[in-house]
Structure 1
Amino acid sequence: MDTVFILTFLLPVILATTGFNPTQHHDYEAMEAVMNNVHEKCNKITHLYELPTGTFEDIPSTTVNGRKLKVLVFGKHPTEHTNGIPEFKYIGNMHGNEVTGKELLLRLMTYMCDVYLGETTEIEGNFDMKHIKDLIDNTRIHILPSMNPDGWQIASESVDNYQNGVLGSDKWTVGRANANGKDLNRNFPDLDNLYYNLEAKPGHRNNHLDRVRQVLKNLSSELEPETKMIMSWLHSIPFVASANMHNGDLVANYPFDKTRDGSSHSPAKCPDNSTEMAEAYSLQHADMAKPHKPCDTNDFSKTEGTTNGAAWYSVPGASELPKIWEQNINSLFSFMYQAHIGIKGEIQLPEGIRPGSAIAAIRVQKVGEPKPIDHDILSTESGDYYRLLENGLYNVNATIHFMDRNDNEQKIVRSKCVQVDNQLYSKSAQVVNFDFTQLDEPYIDESCKNEYQDSYDEDQLRQYYDLMWFLRNYAAPRNTYDSKYNVY
């Protein structure tokens, strides 16, 4: 499961237009036109598709009012996942009246296409043509400009409520929700709370979302069409890093977003050090990390333009119309490059065992720390993995569970000592492969063994790496039913 950041900006006026104009806002039809035009112009490096993705049943294909959620992908291999190339996504306009993100992403896709083709008259920002082309060639970048086009329409039809470019103080929520009046940002399963309930238990799961089919079944009446489409998306593409763009203030908000003690403001950081990733955006922004007029009582410049979600709350936006593109262009590219920090590699399996039938769980412990980082990641169905890490020396363990030909459960562990030295704006993370071709030969690298060595207790492993449902839900063909594990 990738780490999702929330980026917020000042709130400008909503204006509709029929073509791409960097100074105005686009309605649904104009947004479609921009995406279609970019795809046609850069058809070799882009792919245009609609949500939902995957093979999950009973997922809506339109919003409440019949609109599509459309995604434009950039990449050297835009139509499919390719081993060694991380998946990244930007989402805008989750709240219909928070429109800055959508326009920023439309301009971003237009600019990326022009730069790649060499058709720009002038390179903007600090990232030159080589950096941008390298990023596109080595990353699969998914851009969803509007997650809530119905809400945008509702907001735009209330334009008379805007005063001097912003909504009136009593009208700022118009169009925030979807057409059913549901706040999509509050409509997803509470995974923060799920993790908090699990983290104190020995051998708890920490490396995937809950069973998507069970979640959809249990919450079917509570989840909105847009929410279900996004959930299917998250479960069908192995995203490495993501950001969701909002309005409200200038800050890069990193997880978790819910306090552990139920209080209104109390930091609740996730196991990974997400502060550095948030700073990859905020420190490249023109104003985010600098003293500026806040939209509420918080001055985020004191924390380098970042905040922990559980320590912050959101309020209405401001009245001025910022130069959004100039402020954010460096940040947008800087953050995409974060998909290439840490390590990546392939899980090498014996002949006859396809990658999807033996998913590896990657556990990481920084040398000098008493315990592993409480966030394992899983290899993809094609056998590659991506682990975002800050600089340092790590003990990295890869574990596979699979059923052998005699229907016996097998587990194999491989260990490596890895020095991570991230290079600024590198197009590739350090490659660390794990060789399982000789399953009967144990391999443990003890060159950076900590005082604490994970014992891989049998009972804990069976609970901790409960992957068989995942193999069949995510990696194996989804049209077969396995009665033994009661999953498809």
Structure 2
Amino acid sequence: MLYRHFVIILVFAVFLVHCAEWRYHNNTDLELFLKNFNQSTKSGIATKLYSIGKSRKGNDLWVLQLTATKKRKTGIPNIKLIGTIHGNEPVGREIILHFMEFLRDGYGSDPVVTWLLDNTRIHFLPNMNPDGFALSHENMCDGEHVRNNGLGGKDLNRNFPDFYHKNRIPEEPETKAVKKWLEDVPFILSAALHGGAMVVNYPFDTVKESTSDMENPPSLTPDHDVFVHLAQVYSQNHPTMHKGDSCSDSKFEGGIVNGAVWYPIIGGMQDYNYAFHGCMELTLEISCCKYPAASELPKLWQDNKMALLKYCLEALRGVTGQILDSTSRKPIAKATLRVSGKNMTFSSSKTGEFWRLLLPGNYKLEVSAEGYYNQVVSFVVKKYETNPKLTSLKILMLNSSISTTSSTTPKQRTTGTTVKFTRSITDGAPITVSSAGVIPSEDHQPPTPASLITPLEKSSSTVHQNYIFYVSLVIFLLL
């Protein structure tokens, strides 16, 4: 009898570690949860657990990748979700764990979840600041105590290279790990989950010049239209955030705000993602209290579940493609690309691939690579109410050593859309860019904000039923 009770307790222990409870997982439990999740995947889903580095005190920064895409495919966008950049704001880490389970359990039954996992790779870093979290505790609703990465540490959200200014704060190990991560994986969409407010903060956080005005002027990116759209998708799919007054001490129109308007900072992570790597990241403030009681987690999860799902789907709205040598068909890495009218460049990956989030419309893509003639590619991003799809291009670059008087324009191939291609050999000098990826002649001035798109409709799914049934069956057989 005693043996049976021991087995029942053991089964429950395995179940509770494996499934995200409504509690705050300490660093050890969180690592065990991720390892168990990685070993218990659903048919059709592939997971990968890896560490991007170590914290100041030597704790691993674990990432769980989740996807149902085939290994073959090019053009698969990478998404990342990050929690606990501030040690005293841990709601995000728990929301991320439940979102992982929601996606896994909904695959194959929920059409929206299935579409997302079939067409993206999602990387979850729930615990960017394990050292700071270890020093924090529940019901710390405000203040900056233990937000840094341990005693004597730094604020990790002020620790990245800045777009406009030199950041003189020495980089912490966690910052270096995230920077290397961005070099290794060509992310297109990202979100960092914070606490202490209820609003979506979009770039830029930094400002070109400080001002003494009582109200801070906006600091807008060349992709302001896309960032506002992304922020609205999240806010509008949250039951209260879009009202703008969820927390008593602040009001945000539509539940979104430009970072610099709220309060300017230097060295923010979302600015670094965009300006240095072409990844569009938002800061999601998802709880009025920085570290609320664990009893509030179920409601916070329900409030953010659909918003996260709809936000991740936006990684499939825009353009992707591969840049190849027209003769050898080998990928061209580090080609420089720019969407005409947007004063920000981005680069092709080591496989010659590129991605860019764009709203529906007609565009031209300027492409240049060392040793090749420039090209201007015309394409269309279609409007999808559900199941968005990236416009897919294949761009063949003509080597500049080949005479253009006797050659013909390389045949281009596209998939999933009709695209007009032109070769701009005589359209002027190659594009010159600064180290920050900006065309200097335009002096970093962002364009006029463009129109916005209406967010998607809501859907739902269920979770954990298979595990509850399994545990119940084991207990019944043992009694």
TM-score, normalised relative to structure 2: 0.70
Q: What is the distance in 2 between the residues matched to 1:385 and 1:448?
A: 17
CA 1:77/1:291 → structure 2, altered by over 3 Å: closer, same or farther? closer
Q: What is the distance in 1 between the residues matched to 2:315 and 2:161?
A: 25
Q: Which residue of 1 aligns with 2:93?
A: 102
Match of 1:182, SS?
coil
Give a deviation string over 1:186-212, Cα, whole Å, max 9, x none. 111222437xxxxxxxxxxxxxxxxxx
Which one is further off, 61-70 or 312-321? 312-321
Q: Which residue of 2 aligns with 1:183?
A: 155
Give a deviation string over 1:18-49, Cα, whole Å, max 9, x none. 66444211111111122122211117634333
Does structure 1 conserve the Cα–Cα contact (< 8 Å) formed by 2:324 and 2:330?
A: no
2:243 to 290, 298, 302: 290
1:340 aligned to 2:327? no
Match of 2:368, SS?
strand
Match of 1:277, SS?
helix
Give matches, 1:20-419, under 5 Å: 20-42=19-41, 45-52=45-52, 61-77=53-69, 82-116=73-107, 129-156=110-137, 159=138, 166-167=139-140, 172-179=143-150, 180-193=152-165, 222-263=170-211, 265-272=216-223, 273=225, 274-297=227-250, 299-300=251-252, 302=253, 304-313=254-263, 317-318=288-289, 321=296, 323-352=299-328, 354-356=330-332, 358-365=333-340, 372-401=341-370, 410-419=371-380
Q: What is the distance in 2 between the residues matched to 1:306 and 1:463?
A: 31
Q: Which runs of 5+ in 1 are unaligned?
A: 1-16, 53-60, 119-128, 160-165, 195-214, 366-371, 402-409, 468-488
CA 1:95/1:107 → structure 2, altered by over 3 Å: closer, same or farther? same
Give a deviation string over 1:265-305, Cα, whole Å, max 9, x none. 221110002101111111111111025342533x11x2x21
Question: Over aligned residues, Cα RMSD in angstroms?
Answer: 3.3
The code of the aligned residue for 1:393 comes to N
Q: What is the distance in 2 between the residues matched to 1:73 and 1:400?
A: 32
Give a deviation string over 1:31-82, Cα, whole Å, max 9, x none. 1122122211117634333333xxxxxxxx321222100000011358x795
Q: Which runs of 5+ in 2 are unaligned?
A: 1-15, 265-284, 413-418, 438-479
Does structure 2 conserve the Cα–Cα contact (< 8 Å) formed by 1:41 and 1:113?
A: no
Does structure 2 conserve the Cα–Cα contact (< 8 Å) formed by 1:290 and 1:305?
A: yes
Q: What is the distance in 2 between the residues matched to 1:432 and 1:71?
A: 30
Which one is further off, 438-447 or 275-284? 438-447
Q: What is the distance in 2 between the residues matched to 1:73 and 1:266?
A: 38
CA 1:286/1:117 → structure 2, altered by over 3 Å: closer, same or farther? same
Percent of pairs with identical residues = 29
Match of 1:355, SS?
coil
The code of the aligned residue for 2:245 comes to H
Q: What is the distance in 1 between the residues matched to 2:222 and 2:159?
A: 24
The code of the aligned residue for 2:346 comes to I
TM-score, normalised relative to structure 1: 0.69
Q: CA deviation at 1:442?
A: 7.2
CA 1:291/1:243 → structure 2, altered by over 3 Å: closer, same or farther? closer
Match of 1:33, SS?
helix
The code of the aligned residue for 1:103 comes to E
Aligned length: 375
Q: What is the distance in 1 between the residues matched to 2:125 and 2:74?
A: 23
Does structure 1 conserve the Cα–Cα contact (< 8 Å) formed by 2:54 and 2:60?
A: yes
Does structure 2 conserve the Cα–Cα contact (< 8 Å) formed by 1:87 and 1:238?
A: yes
Does structure 2 conserve the Cα–Cα contact (< 8 Å) formed by 1:51 and 1:229?
A: no
Match of 1:328, SS?
helix
